[in-house]
């Protein structure tokens, strides 16, 4: 096992009664200090994996270690060091947001009651709920409930924060605020394990990523490594698309597509892009834009799986 890993699994498997294989032989390594994106379509096994990591369900086979401890055996030692928001927060609807946090904090045997009020105030402020702290939780929107769940996870400093779809129900502004909060926490030294089906969310905030599909791990590594594993595309802006296609094809550019006044194709494995540009100009093609497109996490996911999924929410 890797001593620097905050989460590590080996052959982690969960098969439910009836034979459904939810997680299949998962080998995962989450480095300390990372913002780790756990990415996959709904139903890919992400939440089942998180529930095993947090000791909420037993694996059928395999091993999971969190903060160096075996789970679920060491759940009593591990969970006080972990903040988690899984499948939405379980709130008391009849209590205010503030009083929900009082209940959560009082249930933590390691929490100091003398600093409770200050810690609750700071957590509410951090997630932008100070003004709504006195409202009953049942009157909260889904986005506000997500924020309150995050506040509960942040009542005390945590070595690891586990967030399962934390921006569910949030408007674009709320999503930006949560992303900023995740970055702040990472800068403070908290490792963040963030499960999402939103590719752009992962790409904007994460340093590392693992991709799940149908219960299996497809790949893991840094976001940069994953994007670098996919060949980029050449993009040319021109009103002379037919002639551009002819010239590019002659110079070894394959998989050419035309959309409006934009021609794209696979970047050739060899050859100078400047020479390609010069060849277009020599042929009389009016080149208005030319360059290699940035490879996105979506491109990498599609290359891995042959399919896409919800990239914007």
CA-CA distances (angstroms) from residue 107 to 80, 151, 155?
A: 11, 15, 12
Predicted confidence band of residue 295 (pLDDT cuts 50, 70, 90): low
The model's pLDDT over 34-81, given as tens digits with 9 standing for 90+, comes to 999 998 877 889 989 999 999 999 999 999 999 999 999 999 899 889
Distance, CA of 154 to chain centre: 19
CA-CA distances (angstroms) from residue 119 to 26, 114, 116?
A: 37, 10, 5
Q: Rounded to the nearest 10 degrees, what angle do helices 142-153 and 116-126 cross at?
A: 140
On average, the pLDDT of the chain sits at 86
Predicted confidence band of residue 301 (pLDDT cuts 50, 70, 90): low
Phi/psi of residue 80, nearest 5 degrees: -60, -20
Question: How would you classify the pairing of strands 233-237 and 289-292?
Answer: antiparallel
Q: Which three-class secondary structure state does DSSP give residue 157?
A: coil
- Tokens standing for 19? 């034979």
Of all helices (H) and strands (E), which one includes residue 279?
helix 273-282
**DSSP alpha helix (H) spans, 20-153:** 46-53, 75-78, 97-106, 116-126, 142-153
Asked if residues 104 and 152 have their Cβ atoms less than 8 Å apart, the reply is yes
The model's pLDDT over 183-203, given as tens digits with 9 standing for 90+, comes to 888 888 899 999 987 777 788
Distance, CA of 192 to chain centre: 10
Listed in sequence order, the residues at least 6 apart from 259 whose beta carbon sits closer than 8 Å to its beta carbon are none
Of all helices (H) and strands (E), which one includes residue 225?
helix 223-228
User: What residues pair up with 9 in beta bridges, in sequence order?
Assistant: 64
Per-residue model confidence (pLDDT) at position 299: 66
């Amino acid at each position: 096992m890797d001593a620097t890993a905050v989460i590590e699994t080996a052959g982690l498997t969960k098969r439910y009664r009836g034979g459904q294989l939810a997680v299949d032989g998962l080998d995962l390594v989450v480095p300390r200090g990372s913002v780790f994106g756990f990415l996959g379509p709904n139903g890919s096994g992400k939440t089942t994996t998180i529930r095993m990591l947090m000791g909420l369900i037993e694996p059928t086979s395999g091993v999971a270690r969190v903060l160096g401890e075996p789970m679920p055996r060491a759940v009593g030692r591990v969970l006080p060091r972990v903040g988690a928001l899984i499948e939405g927060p379980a709130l008391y609807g009849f209590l205010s947001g503030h009083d929900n946090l009082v209940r959560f904090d009082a249930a933590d045997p390691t929490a100091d009651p003398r600093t409770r009020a200050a810690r609750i105030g700071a957590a509410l402020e951090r997630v932008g709920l100070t003004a709504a702290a006195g409202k009953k939780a049942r009157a909260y929107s889904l986005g506000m409930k997500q924020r309150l769940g995050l506040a509960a996870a942040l009542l005390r400093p945590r070595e690891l924060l586990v967030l399962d779809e934390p921006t569910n129900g949030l408007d674009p502004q709320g999503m930006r605020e949560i992303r900023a909060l995740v970055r702040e926490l990472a800068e403070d030294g908290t490792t963040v394990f963030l499960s999402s089906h939103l590719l752009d969310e992962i790409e904007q905030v994460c340093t590392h990523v693992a991709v799940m599909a149908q219960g299996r791990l497809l790949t893991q590594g840094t976001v940069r490594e994953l994007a670098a594993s996919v060949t980029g595309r050449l993009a040319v802006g021109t009103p002379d698309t037919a002639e551009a296609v002819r010239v590019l094809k002659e110079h070894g550019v394959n998989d050419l597509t035309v959309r409006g006044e934009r021609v794209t194709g696979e970047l050739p494995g060899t050859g100078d892009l400047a020479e390609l540009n010069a060849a277009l100009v020599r042929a009389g093609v009016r080149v208005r834009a030319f360059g290699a497109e940035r490879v996105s996490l979506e491109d990498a996911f599609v290359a891995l799986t042959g399919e896409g999924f919800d990239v914007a929410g």
